[in-house]
């Protein structure tokens, strides 16, 4: 066991989540590397200091480059706005430091390509923060599919739907500007990553992308919304399975609609993040009169649950996903080997998003 | 109150359902017209007589034309294979008799056009048997949407999925031959009708259609399946709402997956026929901390429930939908006016199916 | 196949249900005996005639004795207020006619005893109208338990809860007067019958009975409520299983809370009438990671479902239970043998209710 | 903000949970007091050292008295077997140190009395580890009830059911010996605490307690089980509400059945820990046709959720409850004031358990 100096860039929503995760991952997983909250970077000296004190870091800075180059920092978590992901990641690799980057992998496909190339050239641990796929339920779903428990997959439907922008009178904000902050840029990556992980590569798709609330109020009058409120695409996976993915930030009533249903030739799986401790499984076995979707409550028999609790059905939560992610990042550093999902996996997600934008623009099926 | 002679063509699945409905609709709804089970037609004299005795008809025939032209028959229900819908309907209208035709409205778009033209030219009551939309829950969903309870609709997702053909080793049958008997022909009409009824006309769509099990066993060796196992399309409704519809007969675990979710700007609705006595409603009102999808159990406050039971939550079932349909057909005859859904409504459904086939063939978005 | 003349006494809620059932049972089940709606009796000539016309009976009467003694009446359904059950049943048996009596079996234990003795002395078909236990789901639950699918039963919890009297401002009505019309008298019988059918005889119990709304408004001022709003008891079944039953007419939010959960040593069952087409089954078999309550949708593989519909998950409803009941009654008549649940079964229910009242009065455990 | 030295006695299930909580509570809640993992005590030097290393404590000991009296230890968490709770707590108070004691409060009523007297005499912060009541959902349920959102409570049903001992062939273990380790001793406290917190004091009860598996196998042959597998009681609360509580460790299929349903005169609440991020609320308001239980997903609008995540529906888990508990304990220490639930609250729970045992022994209703 040895201490490792962690630097986190960004102290907001995800910066806090990663800070808490780094504070607790050692006790939860008995990791060989024990994070030391060395430095946090934020936009201003005041905010950085506030985050430092709140989360328990040793030092704070308003200059992320200072953090990247600090000799006590041995690993970096990027939780900044996505427009900065590329520049920070490249600087971190240049400084020889492993990087855990929040999704999406940059603000554009070209960002993702540059970041992936830099990571692979540097041969340094690199990981993308797709936390939702790390629930015990979704990890077990992957296992079920890959072990053939539901036969050959013929259908996948996934969605990531929330309703934080459903109210048309909600004032314009940063989320309403720039493709990287729209529904395709911000929400789609999680579910596309899930689709790729659960089913495999996407071969072709045809998409539709929509901005429902075309302006939003502001103190200076109506502001034009420049990105999308909802989007969807039909696809075929490389293995022939038919797929549908949809995304929305205006899905009234949906709070965390990261959900999928997977049909195989001998079984089916359903999952909804709003009840993240349950996985629904149907198997075409036993008497027909006794068949049905069973609600499996996650527990010690499912991946990564036991370190959180010995009792099944007691449940893990959002923060625990980030702790699992931190464990994986530490493992990558300890072993010197990339751990899924790497930047290359994040790039694959960006390629799908790019294809969806192209399909919408051309009104054509697009081949990846 | 007066008696009306009913003739039903077809004694199988739907023929029985309509027979039972005609036997009970009077007592349930206290209708002005009281059905008299006058004659049933089936393929052979033996089967016709068997159905006659079982369901309680006065007479039986193996010649549907005999039934159509019988002077005691005042109204006709077509529950035959869909390849016969057109010929029978045209003969019935020629004989001056009202027709309730099972879905789909014929085996092709041209059938539907001919049948609709004949019905309208004859100025006779005509109706298509879209029974699922008649549950108290779905009727109430229509009411909620049209009364503005969920604001402007921005998203519709509907499916009709079952798993009766999920087993790849199931022998080839009539369902596996001919487009009219595939998933798009057989299952899609119900949900497309729902989409049109709940949201309005579809403006454009792009589809994908798939045959997963390309051959099926038979006593004579493998038989090529000539129609589709699963299908889906993206669409835009004329009112701008984004839509997705999917259909499957290989949806392992799904028994009666006639289900939809509708997002409005101020609310949302969810329904699944597998729990047909519940309607889920979300409204963006009241304290945020108290908002959630509510599970409304149908009862006397919902359309057409009360005649079946005075207690809410006691539930209606499949057969009751056919009874409601029978009531509507009798009303159409009594008043001499077409009652929704007429042949023209059934034609609209066939036009969407046709567009989906064309889109799949051309790999293009199609405008209706 | 032959016609049988049916007389129904009472044209309200249950009278209508039985009328509709008698009108459709033949077509549904292809019964050997085919009901002929011969006569309906109600309180006044006007109401009787109204019911006659609505439900399709041949004749009407305001004198139930006339119906009982009519030579064309071959079987009698008692759907009158429960205070009349005894007198009518005794007269019917005296006239040599089979009786289907709505629950409860009379207004008191002594009624039930007298009715059972009369039935058995007359050696005539007799049945009590416990309709809810006849859903395909509950019938299948009985089968699962008796076939050992969940091992030895150690726990039963049942409830029959509704909320029709939850509103304290609802005016006083007949339901609020007389023990036979209280929660124990009116709602408890259904679930006690279920408990006895599913688990077996109750050996001991201790109860608590409660009137929450002690007066109710009327046009003449407050009226004292003389029966119970909610009640419950602990019990031990003769086989040692622990039990709990509860009943309420003030269970806010509950519409048809006829629900039970049964724990066995190797499995468990859950059912709720509000979703009557689903049965939840857990079995302690297979990998622990794949265990969970499965939601079985009723279908052709479950008792008495197929005659209503060939497709699983399409669902039966309240009225269908009464049709199954009618089928059983016709079978009893056809075979000349009592069919479960007979008056003796109804008497067993009344004995439990009586024990619960005595336990509440004495504040003691009572042995049956 | 200042550091506070924490000592935890016990390194197993709950010892780990409290260790993780103390490691992360500062970053989550930005607490004024920041825990320093100073020392952990366990049964042997080896196990203590193993826990120390795993959880990140500075020191370890096999002598809990050493920990209690260590000058760097400023607060103590008791996570030892319950037979030791009393002795440790008394020593801790004697040493002037605040105590967070795991439930139950000792192994007997006399333990609880002694511990409560010691705590109050010492005037030191004292708290019992009833973690489940601290979910955002259950905290919000308390708020709803106390604010009158469901009117006057008339009914409470609570259960704490699991199935870890359902398998009759599971070998005998410490859990099968001693009343404090039976279902009433081990599982009941959580739900009794919930009942008291949600509804208020219990006035009278009548119970039944059962040992289903009377022996269990061991390497030395069958061992007699000396405590209970399942138990239940009827009760009346001081406010007149009727209640039922049940507990089981053999509830096949139940993994974390800490569940309650509460009926009020104008609303109702349902909760099940197996889906801990949802609270079901029914309100008797609005059109009858739109009423139903709504599934509220917990989020930033519910107590103590926001520090874990900004997004509603993203979910908290088991470990988060312990973190909330740690926050409360730190608050008690910071302010010098007891924070609910104190030892006195834990004593109230033990009094109910004692009454249930007495009722079962005497077969009588018992007044508290």
Query: Could you tell me the CATH number of the domain that includes residue D67?
Result: 3.40.50.720
Question: How confident is the model at residue D323, as a pLDDT?
Answer: 98
Q: What is the pLDDT of residues C214-250, one digit of tens each?
A: 999 999 999 999 999 999 999 999 999 999 999 999 9
Cβ contact, residue pair D255, A314, below 8 Å: yes
Instruction: Please report whether residue D338 resides in a domain.
Output: no
- The residue segments making up the domain with residue A105 are 2-132
Cβ contact, residue pair A301, C289, below 8 Å: yes
Residues C196-224 have a mean pLDDT of 97
Residues of B in contact with D293 (CB under 8 A): 294-295
CA quadruple D213, D219, D224, D225: dihedral sign: negative
Together in a domain, D123 and D188: no
Residues of B in contact with C16 (CB under 8 A): 27
Instruction: Please report whether residue B343 resides in a domain.
Output: no
Share of chain B above pLDDT 70, in %: 100
Length of chain C: 368
Of A23, A308, A313, the CB nearest to D255: A313
- Cβ pair B40, B52 in contact under 8 A: yes
Q: Which residue of C has its CA nearest to D207?
A: C234
Question: How confident is the model at residue D101, as a pLDDT?
Answer: 98
Together in a domain, B79 and B15: yes
Together in a domain, A128 and A149: no
Is 90 exceeded by the pLDDT of residue B338? no
Together in a domain, B303 and B203: yes
Mutate to test the interface with A, among D34, D175, D277, D316 (most CBs of A within 10 A): D277
Together in a domain, B128 and B141: no
Tell me the CA distances in angstroms from D310 to A103, B48, D139, D144, D304, one per residue in order. 17, 66, 18, 22, 11
How near does any CA of chain A get to the CA of B148, in Å? 14
Together in a domain, A179 and A306: yes
Q: What is the Rg, in whole angstroms, of the alpha carbon atoms belonging to chain C?
A: 21
Instruction: Please report whether residue C327 resides in a domain.
Output: no
Q: What is the pLDDT of residues D9-60, one digit of tens each?
A: 999 999 999 999 999 999 999 999 999 999 999 999 999 999 999 999 999 9
What lies within 8 Å, CB to CB, of A183 at 6+ separation is: A227, A228, A229, A230, A231, A247, A248, A249
Instruction: Please report whether residue D332 resides in a domain.
Output: no
Number of domains, chain B: 2
Q: Which of D237, D127, D221, D243 is nearest to D171 (CA)?
A: D221
Q: How far apart are the first and last CA of chain B?
A: 44
Instruction: Please report whether residue A332 resides in a domain.
Output: no
Cα B11 to Cα A366: distance, rounded to the nearest angstrom = 48
- Cβ pair D32, D330 in contact under 8 A: yes
Cα B94 to Cα D246: distance, rounded to the nearest angstrom = 70
Q: What is the pLDDT of residues C96-148, one digit of tens each?
A: 999 999 999 999 999 999 999 999 999 999 999 999 999 999 999 999 999 99
Q: Is B243 helix (H, G, I), strand (E, B) or coil?
A: strand
How near does any CA of chain D get to the CA of A148, in Å? 25
Q: What is the pLDDT of residues B203-216, one digit of tens each?
A: 999 999 999 999 99
Cβ contact, residue pair D242, C230, below 8 Å: yes
Is 80 exceeded by the pLDDT of residue D351? yes
Cβ contact, residue pair B292, D296, below 8 Å: yes
Cβ contact, residue pair C288, A294, below 8 Å: no
Question: How confident is the model at residue A1, as a pLDDT?
Answer: 77
How near does any CA of chain B get to the CA of A351, in Å? 21
Together in a domain, B251 and B356: yes
How near does any CA of chain B get to the CA of C173, in Å? 16
Together in a domain, D104 and D141: no
- What was the ipTM of the complex prediction? 0.97
How near does any CA of chain A get to the CA of B84, in Å? 33
C-D interface: how many C-beta pairs under 8 angstroms?
A: 109
Give the residue from A108, A132, A156 where a domain finishes.
A132
Q: What is the pLDDT of residues D65-82, one digit of tens each?
A: 999 999 999 999 999 999
Tell me the CA distances in angstroms from A280 to A153, C355, D251, one per residue in order. 16, 43, 21
Share of chain D above pLDDT 90, in %: 98
Question: How confident is the model at residue B317, as a pLDDT?
Answer: 98
Question: How confident is the model at residue B337, as a pLDDT?
Answer: 82
Chain C residues whose C-beta is within 8 A of a chain B C-beta are 1, 13, 16-17, 19-20, 23-24, 26-28, 30, 34, 53-56, 162, 164, 254-257, 273-278, 297, 299, 308-320
CA quadruple A217, A223, A224, A230: dihedral sign: negative
Contacting partners of chain C (3+ CB pairs under 8 A): A, B, D
Q: Which of A109, A89, A108 is nearest to A99 (CA)?
A: A89
Contacting partners of chain D (3+ CB pairs under 8 A): A, B, C
Give the residue from B86, B108, B132 where a domain finishes.
B132
Instruction: Please report whether residue C325 resides in a domain.
Output: no
Of C278, C288, C294, the CB nearest to A294: C294
Instruction: Please report whether residue D352 resides in a domain.
Output: yes
Question: How confident is the model at residue D337, as a pLDDT?
Answer: 82
CA quadruple D94, D98, D100, D105: dihedral sign: positive
A-C interface: how many C-beta pairs under 8 angstroms?
A: 54
How near does any CA of chain B get to the CA of D316, in Å? 16
Q: What is the pLDDT of residues B142-198, one digit of tens each?
A: 999 999 999 999 999 999 999 999 999 999 999 999 988 999 999 999 999 999 999
Is 90 exceeded by the pLDDT of residue C337? no
Cβ contact, residue pair C265, D232, below 8 Å: no
Structure tokens at B193: 């009708």
Structure tokens at C277: 């087409």
Which CATH number characterizes residue A252's domain? Answer: 3.30.360.10
Together in a domain, C61 and C206: no
Together in a domain, D150 and D195: yes
Together in a domain, B215 and B104: no
| Phi (first) and psi of residue A207, to 5 degrees | -125, 165
Together in a domain, C157 and C105: no
Cβ contact, residue pair B319, C318, below 8 Å: no
Cα B42 to Cα B61: distance, rounded to the nearest angstrom = 7
Instruction: Please report whether residue B143 resides in a domain.
Output: yes
Chain B residues whose C-beta is within 8 A of a chain D C-beta are 140, 149, 278, 281-283, 287-297, 299, 301-302
Q: What is the pLDDT of residues D169-212, one digit of tens each?
A: 999 999 999 988 999 999 999 999 999 999 999 999 999 999 99
Contacts for D141-144 with beta carbons within 8 Å, 24 or more apart?
Answer: D141/D198, D141/D262, D141/D269, D141/D271, D141/D279, D142/D197, D142/D198, D143/D303, D144/D267, D144/D269, D144/D281
pLDDT < 70 stretches in chain A: none
Question: How confident is the model at residue B355, as a pLDDT?
Answer: 98
Mutate to test the interface with C, among B2, B10, B275, B326 (most CBs of C within 10 A): B275
Residues of A in contact with B229 (CB under 8 A): 154
Cα C202 to Cα C190: distance, rounded to the nearest angstrom = 15
Give the residue from C70, C104, C132 where a domain finishes.
C132
How near does any CA of chain D get to the CA of B157, in Å? 21
């Amino acid at each position: 066991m040895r201490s490792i100096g962690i630097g986190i860039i960004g102290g907001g929503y995800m910066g806090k989540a990663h800070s808490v995760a780094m504070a607790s991952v050692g006790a939860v997983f008995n990791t060989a590397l024990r994070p030391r909250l060395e430095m946090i970077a934020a936009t201003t000296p005041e905010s950085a200091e506030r985050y430092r004190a709140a989360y328990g870091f040793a030092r704070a800075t308003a200059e992320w480059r200072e953090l990247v180059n600090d000799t006590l920092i041995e690993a970096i978590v990027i939780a900044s706005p996505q427009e900065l992901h590329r520049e920070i990641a490249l600087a971190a690799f240049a400084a020889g430091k492993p990087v855990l980057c929040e999704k999406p992998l940059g603000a554009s496909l070209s960002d993702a390509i540059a970041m992936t190339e830099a990571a692979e050239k540097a041969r340094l641990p690199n990981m993308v923060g797709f936390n939702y796929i790390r629930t015990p339920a979704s990890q077990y779903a992957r296992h079920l599919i890959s072990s053939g428990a539901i036969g050959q997959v013929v259908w996948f439907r996934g969605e990531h739907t929330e309703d934080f922008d459903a109210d048309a009178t909600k004032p314009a904000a940063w989320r309403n500007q720039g493709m990287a902050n729209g529904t395709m840029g911000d929400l789609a990556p999680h579910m596309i990553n899930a689709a790729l992980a659960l089913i495999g590569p996407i071969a072709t798709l045809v998409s539709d992308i929509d901005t429902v609330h075309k302006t939003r109020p502001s103190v200076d009058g109506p502001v034009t919304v420049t990105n999308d409120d909802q989007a969807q695409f039909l696809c075929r996976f490389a293995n022939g399975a038919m797929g549908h993915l949809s995304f929305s930030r205006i899905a009234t009533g949906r709070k965390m609609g990261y959900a999928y249903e997977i049909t195989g030739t001998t079984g089916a799986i359903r999952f909804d993040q709003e009840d993240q401790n349950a996985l629904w499984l149907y198997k075409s076995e036993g008497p027909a009169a006794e068949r049905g979707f069973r609600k499996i409550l996650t527990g010690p028999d499912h991946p990564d649950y036991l370190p959180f609790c010995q009792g099944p059905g007691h449940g893990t939560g959002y923060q625990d996903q980030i702790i699992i992610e931190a464990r994986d990042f530490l493992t990558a550093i300890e072993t010197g080997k990339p751990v899924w999902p790497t930047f290359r996996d994040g790039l694959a997600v960006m390629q799908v998003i790019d294809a969806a934008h192209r399909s919408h623009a051309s009104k054509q099926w697009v081949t990846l």
